[in-house]
Amino acid sequence: MICKRRVSLLTTSMTLMSSAVVTTASAQSEATMRLLDRNRMFEEQIINVADNVYTAIGYTVSANSMIVGTDGVVIVDPGQLPAASLRVRQEFERITDKPVRAIIYTHSHPDHTNGAVAFFDEGEEIQVWQRDNFGSETRRQAEAGLSGGARASNTQGFDLPDEQRISVGIAIPPPRPPRGGVNSAGLSTDLIESATRPGTVPPTHIFNEDRVSLEIAGIRLDLVAAPGETDDQLYVWLPEQRVLFAGDNFYQSWPNVYPLRGTARRSARDWIASLASMMAEDPLVLVGGHTTPITEDTMTVLTNYHDALKWVHDRTIEGAANYLTPDELVEYAALPDHLADLDYLQDYYGSVWGTVRDIYAQDLGWFDGNPLNLHRENPVQQARRMADLVGGVDELMARAHAEMESGDELGAAQLAWHVTKLQPESADAFQLLGEALAVVAERTFNAPARNYTFSSSNRYLQTAAELRN
């Protein structure tokens, strides 16, 4: 039986939503309305997904679950921020006062682990489980000197005003980290701090097998290695209730095969194989790493998710073998009709276009097969060629304004971009570029791309203001 108990503390999301409605009412695009509508999924609620299994949604950006056993409970993904996770614990304690016996991390992203301290009582015997390659994604980036930084901040929209920051795709935007300034490498210190995960409790148990079967507090469960959104991903399988906790290998959105913040390789092929393993378990309930659990037609949802990712992968490879370029493959690999309209496959968080480009780049590298891309001109040379074509840089700027007035904001942004290369002192060019990108962002449905575009727009508008002074 599914019982949804709605909790009245909806303040953060509702305030955010209503302020966005008021301030951008005149320019509200279909993309904006769809994203605001989807935010309703993240109202705070504790969902009883199966006998003795509860999932908290909307308290932290991730889904946090409790499995109740005979003499204790197991927590799957304790959440992002200790204070919010403590509220989840308080809700769980209204259901049972049995002590926490184990915490399981489905993977190493801090939005799933950093709240662990809220469930961990010093002195108690609490098992903390993770895979042996835990943290492999962030470790690789840290070694390269590329942790955190502007790209990560921009896709989350940390610097955006509330009316622009309406979604991160699979959650209500989390609180902004305190502005801690930047370190000598130019990285935001708050991002660095969140990357060190001060609320994450170190593991007591690490497994390197494909599957381990455990009994904790009278609960039979399997932990299964399942590389996908990260290489260190696992899923938790409850054979008795047939509940599968997928971590981030499933959420109600197109899978984030390539995050725009940039990351170490994520393998679509591994992800497809892990989805096939999950299907083989034949679950009745699928608890994703974000978004509400799937409790009906679960195998249909899981099968469609698998088939859709496999379709895009296979079409990309097939087209690439026939010399299609990534720009062409984005259309060639588009989903067939019976998958394209499913809500849980929309580009809320990951994107089909980003997935196609990433699969291509991973297998074939940066060269798209177009011979002209072996002979690239630098941005100033490209801009000069464009200006010469239309009769000079003033005419190029006039065309940019004309595009803006005709409603082709993307065209306006492209032309204004060229002008900024030729006249980096032109406040007018940066102003138009910023204004055009704001409209493009407003129409962008994929939340990370939208946040990134708004962040860029604001930066260009700021440059324009500085140039004017």
Residues that bind Zn ion (CB under 5 A): 109, 248, 289
Residue nearer to Zn ion on the CB measure, 348 or 417: 348
The residue nearest Zn ion at its CB is 248
Strand order in the sheet with 100-104: 3-6, 45-50, 53-57, 64-68, 73-76, 100-104, 127-131, 205-207
CB of 263 to Zn ion, least distance (A): 13
Q: Which backbone phi and psi does 419 adopt, to 5 degrees? A: -65, -40
| Tokens 């464009």 found at | 386
- Determine the Cα–Cα distance for residues 453 and 463; give it in Å rounded to an integer: 15
Q: Are 376 and 349 in contact (CB under 8 A)?
A: no
Residue nearer to Zn ion on the CB measure, 248 or 403: 248
- Determine the Cα–Cα distance for residues 114 and 274; give it in Å rounded to an integer: 25
Residue nearer to Zn ion on the CB measure, 247 or 319: 247
Residue nearer to Zn ion on the CB measure, 137 or 368: 137
Q: CA of 329: how far to CAs of 156, 260, 272, 323, 359, in Å? A: 27, 19, 19, 10, 11
Q: CA of 183: how far to CAs of 37, 188, 191, 192, 222, in Å? A: 38, 7, 11, 9, 42
CB of 246 to Zn ion, least distance (A): 11
Residue nearer to Zn ion on the CB measure, 109 or 421: 109
Q: Are 66 and 92 in contact (CB under 8 A)?
A: yes
Q: What is the CB neighbour count within 10 angstroms for residue 320?
A: 22
Q: Are 189 and 182 in contact (CB under 8 A)?
A: yes
- Determine the Cα–Cα distance for residues 108 and 113; give it in Å rounded to an integer: 7
- Residue 279's identity, in one-letter code, is M
Residue nearer to Zn ion on the CB measure, 77 or 409: 77
CB of 109 to Zn ion, least distance (A): 5
Compute, in degrees rounded to 10, the torsion defined by CA atoms 217, 223, 229, 232: 100
CB of 247 to Zn ion, least distance (A): 8
Q: CA of 70: how far to CAs of 49, 73, 105, 216, 374, in Å? A: 18, 8, 22, 9, 65
Residue nearer to Zn ion on the CB measure, 79 or 319: 79
Beta strand 243-247 with 285-288 is parallel
DSSP 8-state symbol, 276: H
Residue nearer to Zn ion on the CB measure, 77 or 190: 77
Strand-pair partners of 4: 47
CB of 171 to Zn ion, least distance (A): 8
CB of 118 to Zn ion, least distance (A): 17
Residue nearer to Zn ion on the CB measure, 110 or 434: 110
| Tokens 């955006």 found at | 160
| Tokens 């935007």 found at | 173
Residue nearer to Zn ion on the CB measure, 45 or 253: 253
- Determine the Cα–Cα distance for residues 129 and 108; give it in Å rounded to an integer: 11
Residue from 168, 188, 451, 432 nearest 291 by CA: 168
